[in-house]
Amino acid sequence: MAKLRAFSGIQPSGDLHLGNYLGAIRNWVLEQSERDNIYCVVDLHAITVPQDPEALHKRIRDLAKIYIACGLDPEAVTIFVQSHVAEHAQLAWLFNCLTPIGWLNRMTQFKEKTGDRRDQSSAGLFVYPALMAADILLYQADGVPVGEDQKQHVELTRDIAEKFNREYAPVFKVPQPWIKEDGARIMALDDPHKKMSKSGGPNNLIYLLDTPDVIVKRIKRAVTDTGTNVVFDPERAGLYNLLEIYLLLSPAGTTKEQIEQHFEGKGYGALKSELAELVVETLKPIQQKYNEISADPNYIEEILKRGADRIRPIAEKTYSEAKAAMGLG
């Protein structure tokens, strides 16, 4: 039986953190052998907000290196840069013309990101979900492995595909959001009621390339409550978040009960120091691999070129079908 195709992407808009790893990349890595995988560095999405050109160029490469350092096998998985395949922007235009403004107005991420500065934000930021739909639909992906915050965008992608298929011709596969229950929403260390995020300030997150000292410091300072017993209680949001991270980084098959037993009578201090050790040990091989890959700049350039060359024909085929269905050309 043919493998199901996964497509996902991350913006090269800042350094990656533990939330990005646990909510997205780690799942890509764990399931890479069961699927046909396409993973993109979505640079066209990054320019929806101002970027320094030189820094952006570097961050695109750094993000692709992180994908590989986290364990994606570049021989088996396609890794590429969005702007290397022109059809993303081209199909996005067709979708901009197909998508009602009302659908875009409902996107909570846009509202959260712009707040009361909506009129100053770019038109690109507003139509960003149509570009994301183009990314996914160009490759006829079956599913989109992402964190919980992207669910609404994947649902919009489904609506766009269905509208196109209904009004023109059945060109697009309608994809599923692939969101895991555990890890889909890692919370900020300094405020467990907000998600861990690149834009949430330095004390809210742990970067994948942070040094052990910084990791220990951030976890020690993580906000918890005045309780003492270490149990998975969703009402105690800070503690729950630390335990979720601990569970996700523990060997496969570890249960919540085993973790609660392990910490019985030990208190929050013990949890924090063991968790810090676990995070440091998890990130160590990722950081080593990242440094290895960085030693040869040509390595990543070649992978990205090969990746785009490999999947461009799929994008070209889908785009030409969509164009023809709309009567263009």
Residues in contact with ligand LTN by the rule CB under 6 A: 7-11, 42, 45, 132, 135-136, 144, 146, 150, 153
147 vs 192, beta carbon nearer ligand LTN: 147
136 binds, among ligand LTN, ligand ATP, none (CB under 5 to 8 A by kind): ligand LTN
Tell the smallest beta-carbon distance from residue 259 to ligand LTN (Å): 29
| DSSP 8-state symbol, 185 | S
Tell the smallest beta-carbon distance from residue 165 to ligand LTN (Å): 19
**SS3 state of residue 95:** helix
Place of tokens 């949890």: 271
Do 48 and 122 touch, CB atoms closer than 8 A?
A: yes
C-alpha Rg value of the chain to the nearest Å: 21
How far apart CA 264 and CA 189 sit, in angstroms, is: 23
Query: How many helices (DSSP H) and strands (DSSP E) are in the chain?
Result: 14, 5
- Give the Cβ contact number of residue 312 at 10 Å: 16
104 vs 278, beta carbon nearer ligand LTN: 104
CA torsion angle 80 84 88 90 (round to 10): -170
Residues serving a catalytic function are: 113, 195, 198
Q: Which two tokens stand for residue 64?
A: 């692709």
How far apart CA 25 and CA 12 sit, in angstroms, is: 14
136 vs 223, beta carbon nearer ligand LTN: 136
210 binds, among ligand ATP, ligand LTN, none (CB under 5 to 8 A by kind): none
Tell the smallest beta-carbon distance from residue 159 to ligand LTN (Å): 15
Give 273-289 as a DSSP string. HHHHHHHHHHHHHHHHH
For residue 238, which amino acid is it? G
199 binds, among ligand LTN, ligand ATP, none (CB under 5 to 8 A by kind): ligand ATP
128 vs 246, beta carbon nearer ligand LTN: 128
48 binds, among ligand ATP, ligand LTN, none (CB under 5 to 8 A by kind): none
171 vs 275, beta carbon nearer ligand ATP: 275
Tell the smallest beta-carbon distance from residue 306 to ligand ATP (Å): 24
For residue 193, with 0-12 CB atoms within 10 Å meaning exposed, 13-18 middle and 19 or more buried, which class applies?
exposed
Q: Which residues of this chain interact with ligand ATP, rule CB under 6 A? A: 10-11, 13, 19-20, 22-24, 146-147, 149-150, 184-186, 195-199
Tell the smallest beta-carbon distance from residue 269 to ligand LTN (Å): 34
74 binds, among ligand LTN, ligand ATP, none (CB under 5 to 8 A by kind): none
